[in-house]
Amino acid sequence: MSIGSWLTRVRDQRPLVHNITNLVVTNVAANTLLALGASPVMAYAHEEVADMASIAKSLALNLGTLDPEIVVAMRLASTAANRTGVPIVLDPVGAGATPYRTRAAQEIIDGHQLAILRGNASEIGILTGAGGSVVGVDAGQASEHLIDAMRAFATEHRTVVVATGPRDLVTDGQAVWELANGHPHLAAITGSGCSLTAVIGAFVGTVDTCDPHLYAEAAIAAVTCFNVAAERAAAHAAGPGSFQVALLDALYHITPEQIDEAARVRTL
Amino acid sequence: MSIGSWLTRVRDQRPLVHNITNLVVTNVAANTLLALGASPVMAYAHEEVADMASIAKSLALNLGTLDPEIVVAMRLASTAANRTGVPIVLDPVGAGATPYRTRAAQEIIDGHQLAILRGNASEIGILTGAGGSVVGVDAGQASEHLIDAMRAFATEHRTVVVATGPRDLVTDGQAVWELANGHPHLAAITGSGCSLTAVIGAFVGTVDTCDPHLYAEAAIAAVTCFNVAAERAAAHAAGPGSFQVALLDALYHITPEQIDEAARVRTL
Amino acid sequence: MSIGSWLTRVRDQRPLVHNITNLVVTNVAANTLLALGASPVMAYAHEEVADMASIAKSLALNLGTLDPEIVVAMRLASTAANRTGVPIVLDPVGAGATPYRTRAAQEIIDGHQLAILRGNASEIGILTGAGGSVVGVDAGQASEHLIDAMRAFATEHRTVVVATGPRDLVTDGQAVWELANGHPHLAAITGSGCSLTAVIGAFVGTVDTCDPHLYAEAAIAAVTCFNVAAERAAAHAAGPGSFQVALLDALYHITPEQIDEAARVRTL
C-alpha cells in the first residue's frame, strides 16, 4: 500500500481518536484531526475514559501537562484500550526534564501494551535507555547508539518507536526507516509534535489487527503526510502564525498523490 | 426587533458572559465573544463561580471535557445564576456518547432553570427523549419526532431548545423555527458549536426579563449572526485554518444590515 | 543597552520560561514565546513544579483560571524559584473581580519575592491599594493616585510594577516610565495581556542578578517589543482573527532596529 493511500483510508473511515492530551495543544490537536478527515474526542474524567477509549479507534496519550488525575485517567483508558484492542500511541512530552515526567512515562510503558511510542530524540533516548544527551537526529549522522536502543526497545516491548526531529526515525524492532520531510517552521510553533501524535493516532486507528509492522507503516504514512503538508504550508506562510493556519488548510487539501510524490522515506 | 438589531444590543451592552467550558475551545470561545463585541470571563474555581455568575449577564455551560470538579462548579454557578436571574445556556457536548455525560447533562437540567439548551440533533434527541439515533437535520426532512420531543421538553422545562446542524431548529415550546444559514466549514473546525453556545450566551445576556419567547428571539438572532458571519468568512477561506481566522474577522466586522439581508429564518 | 538589544539577548539565550498560566491562553502564550525566540514550558503538577521552576530562567504566573490546585502549584514553584534566584512575574488576572482572586494574588505577593507584577490598571489599582475604580490609563491623564500607589508598592516589595492599557506605566519604585506603543486590536483578542506577561518572563529571564532596575529595563523592553510587533501586525490585519496570526509572524520577524525606531518611552 502506498503512503498516500493510508490517507485515503483515514478519510474514508474517519476514525474516532480519543485524546488525553495536554492543555497547550488541545485545540490544535482537535483541529488537526478534523482538517485531516478524522474525528477527535477529548475526554479526561475517570468516570468516562474507559467507555470513551472502548468506542474509539485509537487512544492518543500526551504527557505535556500531566498531573496525578490525568495519569489515573490514562491508566484507566489504556486498560480499556488494551482489553478492546484499541491501539495506544504515547507521546512522553518532557521525559527527562523532570523525574515526575520520566516516571509517569515509564509507568505507562510498563503497565500497558503500546502500539506506538513517539517523542523527540531526547525523550526517546531517555526512555529507551540510550541516554538523554541525545539531541537532534540529522541526515547521515543519526546516532547509531540511539537507533540500537530504539530497536531493542521496540523488540522487547513489541511496539513501534518513532523519534522525530529534522529527520525522523521509525522502527518496529526489525527494520529502521529514516524520513526526511518537514520544515523548520514546525519547531517555531507549539504542539506540532503533539499534533503529529494525534495524526499517528488517526492512521493507526485504521489498522484492525495488532501488528507492529502495520503500525510502523501507519506511523511512516502519518509522519510523512503531516510533514509534506507542512512543506506545502510553509510555501504560503509569512511566519509561524500564518504557518499554523496554512498547515490546517494543507492537511485539509493534501492528496495521496501529492504525498507519494514528495515522500522521502528510506530504509537504513 | 429585527435579527440584526440584536447584534447592536450586544455591542452596546457588551454583556459579561461567564463561561464554564471545555479545554478544547476555551480560547476560541473567548475570542469569538470579544470579536463579536461581548465580554468573556472564564472561571472554574468552586471558591468563586457563584460570585462570578452573579455579576455576569449570562452563564454558558459546556460539558465538552467535564469532570466531577467541573460538574460541581456548574452546580454552584447555576444555583447562583438562578437566584440572581442570570440566564443559563447549556451545551451538553457528547450527551449520549458516554453514560457519564448523559447523566451530567440530565442533572443540570433537573436541578436548574435553563434559559436555553443547545446541542446537535443527536445530543438534543437523547436529552429530550427523541432518541439518540437522530443524526442530521436537513431541509424539509427535519424529523417530526425530534421536533415534537423538543417542543414537549421546552414546554415542560419552560426553556428554549436549539438543535443545530446543516439546518437549525429552535423552539420555545410553542413556535418552531428553522434556520438555514451556515457553511460546511463549520463542521471542519473544532468548537464551532461551543463558540455558538457562547454567542447565544451573549445575546440572551441582553435580555432582562426571564421570558422564553425573548430567549428564543435572542437564540435565533445569535445562531443567524454566527452563521451569516461563517458564510462571509468562507468566501475568504482556503480551508479550515484560514476559515477560523476569517470567522473572527467576520464576527468583528459584520453589520446588522448584513445579517438581516442574509438571514434565512422560517416558522415551521 | 538599547531596548532592541534586549530582544537580541532573548534570541541568543532562548530562556526557558516556566508558565503556570490559565486555560484560555496556554496555547497562545507558548506560541508567543516560540515566535519571539524563547522556550516555553507549561507544568502544573505539584510533583514537578519545583523541579521545573528551578531549571527555568523565569517563572510566569497567571491567575486567569486559578483554582486551589493551581494556587498550591504556584506556591511550590515560587518557593523553588525564590530559592534558586529565578525571577517571578505575576499576572493577577481578575484581581478585584471576585474576592477569591484578590486573595490569591495577595497571598502570592505576601509569600514570595516577585521580580515583576503586571496587570491592567484596575488590577494594579486593587493590589497596590489605589482602589479598583481606576479604569484606563490614558495619555497625559494617568492617575497620579495610581502612580503614587504603584511607586510605594514597588518600593515596599522591592519589585517592579507594570500597569498596561492604552498607555503603559512601569516603575521600580524610583523612576516611572510611560510607554505609548500598541494597538487597539490588542483589546479585541483574548490573552494579549497574558502573552505579554510571558514575554516579560522571557526578557527578565535573561537578567542574571536580582536587580529591580534591570528588571524594569527588561519589562520596558518586553512591553515595547510586544507592542511594536502589534503595531506592525495591525498593518496587515483585517480584524482580530488575522491580527492574532500576524502578531506571531511579526514577533518572529521583528528586528531590534525596528523596535528602537518605533519605541515611544518617556520618563514621567
Cell, residue B264: 434565512
Interchain CB contacts (distance < 8 Å): A and B: 86
CA atoms within 13 A on the CB side of C241: 26
Give the ipTM.
0.95
Q: Is B42 annotated as a binding residue?
A: yes
H or E element at residue A80? helix A68-84
The three cell numbers locating residue B249 = 474577522
| Contact indicator for B181, B164 with CB cutoff of 8 Å | no
Å between C116 CA and nearest CA of chain B: 24
Task: Using the structure block, give the residue that is written with the C-alpha cell 483560571.
Answer: C65
Angle at B192 between CA A33 and CA A250, to 5 degrees: 40
Is A11 marked within a binding site?
no
Residue C61's beta-bridge partner residues?
A: C20, C90
8 Å CB contact between B137 and B165: yes
Collapsing DSSP to helix, strand or coil, C51 comes out as helix
Three-class SS string for chain B? CCHHHHHHHHHHHCCEEEEECCCCCHHHHHHHHHHHCCEEEECCCCCCHHHHHHHCCEEEEECCCCCHHHHHHHHHHHHHHHHHCCCEEEECCCECCEHHHHHHHHHHHHHCCCCEEEEEHHHHHHHHCCCCCCCCCCCCCCCHHHHHHHHHHHHHHCCEEEEECCCEEEECCCCEEEECCCCHHHHHCCCHHHHHHHHHHHHHCCCCCCCHHHHHHHHHHHHHHHHHHHHHHHCCCCCHHHHHHHHHHHHHHCCHHHHHHHCCEEEC
Q: What is the pLDDT of residues C202-211, one digit of tens each?
A: 999 999 999 9
| Cross-chain Cβ contact A244/C244 below 8 Å | no
Grid cell of B254 as nine digits: 459584520
Half-sphere exposure of C202 (CA within 13 A, CB side): 34
Cβ-Cβ contacts under 8 Å, A241 against chain C: 31, 35, 244-249, 252
As a whole number of angstroms, the distance between CA C80 and CA C71 comes to 14
pLDDT tens for chain B, 268 residues: list them: 799 999 999 999 999 999 999 999 999 999 999 999 999 999 999 999 999 999 999 999 999 999 999 999 999 999 999 999 999 999 999 999 999 999 999 999 999 999 999 999 999 999 999 876 544 344 445 588 999 999 999 999 999 999 999 899 999 999 999 999 999 999 999 999 999 999 999 999 999 999 999 999 999 999 999 999 999 999 989 999 999 999 999 999 999 999 999 999 999 9
Cell of B70: 467541573
Residues whose CB is less than 8 angstroms from the CB of residue A18 and which lie 6 or more positions away in sequence, other chains included = A41, A42, A43, A49, A52, A53, A56, A58, A59, A60, A77, A86
CA C72 – CA C74 distance, rounded (Å): 5
3-state secondary structure of A252: helix
A249 located within any domain: no
**Pairing mode, strands C39-42 and C16-20:** parallel
Locate A46 and state its grid cell. Answer: 475517570
Beta bridge partners of residue A178, listed in sequence order: A169, A266
Q: According to the model, what pLDDT value does residue A1 have?
A: 79
Chain C residues within an 8 Å CB radius of A65: 26, 42-45
- Residue A32 covered by a domain: yes
- In terms of Cα–Cα distance, which of C194, C203, C207, C204 is closest to C244? C194
User: Which residue's C-alpha cell is 478492546?
Assistant: A84
Residue of C nearest to B40 (CA): C190
Rg (CA), chain B: 17
Phi, psi of A117 (to 5 degrees): -110, 120
Of the candidates C2, C1, C11, which has an alpha carbon nearest to the alpha carbon of residue C33? C11
**CA dist., res. A152 & res. A125, Å (int):** 12
| A240 contacts C34? CB cut-off 8 A | yes
Which CATH number covers residue A53?
A: 3.40.1190.20
DSSP character at residue A168: E
**Cα separation of C236 and A94, whole Å?**
36
The mean pLDDT of C105-130, rounded to a whole number, is 96
From first to last of its 268 residues, chain A has per-residue pLDDT tens of 799 999 999 999 999 999 999 999 999 999 999 999 999 999 999 999 999 999 999 999 999 999 999 999 999 999 999 999 999 999 999 999 999 999 999 999 999 999 999 999 999 999 999 876 544 344 445 588 999 999 999 999 999 999 999 899 999 999 999 999 999 999 999 999 999 999 999 999 999 999 999 999 999 999 999 999 999 999 989 999 999 999 999 999 999 999 999 999 999 9
Provide the number of structural domains found in chain A.
Answer: 1
Chain pair A-C, CB pairs under 8 angstroms: 86
Domain that holds residue C123: 3-267
What are the chain C neighbours of A239 within 8 Å (beta carbons)? Answer: 35, 248-250, 252-253
Strand order in the sheet with B88-91: B39-42, B16-20, B58-62, B88-91, B116-120, B160-164, B168-171, B176-179, B265-267
In the block, which residue shows the cell 439518540? B132
Neighbours of C60 (CB within 10 A): 30
Neighbouring C-alpha atoms within 13 Å toward the C-beta of C247: 31
Closest-CA residue of chain A to C30: A190
Tell which residue, A9, A77, A241, has the closest CA to residue B241.
A241
Give the distance from residue B267's alpha carbon to the nearest chain C alpha carbon, in angstroms.
34
Residues of B in contact with C64 (CB under 8 A): 42
User: Which of A265, A97, A115 lies closest to A176, judged by CA?
Assistant: A265
User: So what's the pLDDT on residue B18?
Assistant: 98
Which residues of chain B does C245 touch, with a Cβ-Cβ cutoff of 8 Å? 245
Q: Mutate which of C23, C25, C244 to disrupt the B interface (most B C-beta within 10 Å)? A: C23
For β-strands B39-42 and B160-164, DSSP reports them as unpaired
Contact C89, C59 (CB under 8 A): yes
- A140 CB contacts (<8 Å, ≥6 apart)? none
Q: Which long-range contacts (CB under 8 A, 24 or more apart) does B47-50 make?
A: B47/C67, B47/C68, B47/C100, B48/C98, B48/C99, B48/C100, B48/C101, B49/B18, B49/B20, B49/B73, B49/B74, B49/B76, B49/B77, B49/B80, B50/B76, B50/B77, B50/B79, B50/B80
B48 vs C244: CB contact, 8 Å cut-off? no
> Which amino acid type is present at position B157?
H
Q: Cβ–Cβ of C43/A65 closer than 8 Å?
A: yes
pLDDT at C98 over 90: yes
The secondary structure element, H or E, covering residue A94 is none
The residue in chain A having the minimum alpha-carbon distance to the alpha carbon of residue B66 is A45
User: Which among C30, C69, C253 has CB closest to A239?
Assistant: C253
Q: Is the dihedral of CA A174, A178, A182, A185 positive or negative?
A: positive
Residue the block writes with cell 471535557: B65
Measured between beta carbons, the chain A residues lying within 8 angstroms of B97 are: 41, 52, 55
Exposed/middle/buried for residue B106 (C-beta within 10 Å: 0-12, 13-18, 19+): middle
B4 annotated binding-site participant: no
Residue C164 backbone phi and psi in degrees, to 5: -105, 155
> Residues with Cβ < 8 Å from C30, sequence gap 6 or more?
A24, A190, A191, C19, C40, C42
- How far is C50 from C84, CA to CA, in rounded Å? 10
Chain A: closest CA distance from residue B111 (Å): 21
Set of cell numbers at residue A170: 521509525
List of chains touching C (3+ CB pairs within 8 A): A, B
